[in-house]
Amino acid sequence: MSYAVDPAYRPMMGFLPELDVSDAEKARAVILSMRMKDPMAAVPAGIVVDHRSMPTSDGSEIDLVVFRPEDPVGQPLPCILYFHGGGFIFGDAATDVRVPSALAADLDAMVVSVNYRLAPEHPFPTPFDDAFDALSWIAGDNGLGIDPTRIVLAGISAGAGLAAAVALKARDVGGPAVIFQALDSPVLDDRLLTTSATEYIDSPLWNRENGIDSWRHYLGDPDRSVTSEYAAPARAGDLSGLPPAYIAVASFDPLRDEGIDYAQRLTQAGVPTELHLYPGTFHGSSGVFPQAAISQRIDADYTAAIRRALTS
């Protein structure tokens, strides 16, 4: 299939890798080869980076990367709990720093990026439990100077799916309180039955087969008729009472339609929801080509939505 990507992307398309996530280790090697040798070079001046660890509900520990302004305007700080992408199988908080560090700088906020455990070594529910444990931890007495009344859940791709799932559970169990969910290209539906999920078999960077393999790694091979809504938030029957949402989707992304459907269902459930569909984009395009004007617009819109939530 031919994809009419944004003109700014066209000269760079030949540099995209052929990503195949059927083998998790090989996929991780490909992604590592794309990373900067010094990822912390992407951190803006004036942002302090701290590495912390926190206990999980199963008795383990996971790492957190905390981004905060060196000279914040006030204390305590609002907090953005951020979940990196990677199809549930690759990525980590220590190298995926561009977006969370920029959010800390632009919003004068603390951003806590969660190094949740990865499938297939740690399938659902472990990554989800890590994500919810992180919310409980930042809302508690952790010494970070966080304002627990101004917590935002944010993420991209699989991380956005985790953010949506954490919002569901926080509603279901009565807290911790979340004021907003910012979901960039969220992974929400393991059924893969939407038009975009079925038609985009060779879309740039992420395609239907990668989606199938990603869910296989995350869920194993269970009876999909009983998939938990905390694994696939699109399965949730009731979306009422969730925090307001911002959802961004890319036009040439197998995940496009599940994001659109989720935004529509949130709206119908009475949840204030803003949806952006960016023409000429594909899954992860703003991350791999951040210098392009369309990528900068995606980042700016995402940041502005969170700013509105924090100041309203």
- Active-site annotation, residues: 157, 253, 283
207-218: b or e for each residue (b if 16 or more CB lie within 10 Å)? Answer: bbebbbbbbbbb
Contact 258, 164 (CB under 8 A): no
Residue found by looking up tokens 């060779």 in the block: 202
Going 108 to 112 to 239 to 273, the CA torsion angle's sign is positive
Residue found by looking up tokens 């409980």 in the block: 136
What is the identity of the amino acid at 105? Answer: A
How far CA 119 is from CA of 20, 22, 113, in Å, comes to 15, 12, 18
Residue found by looking up tokens 């279901």 in the block: 172
Q: Which of 139, 132, 104 is nearest to 117 (CA)?
A: 132
Contact 182, 152 (CB under 8 A): yes
Helix (H) or strand (E) holding 289: none
DSSP state of 1: -
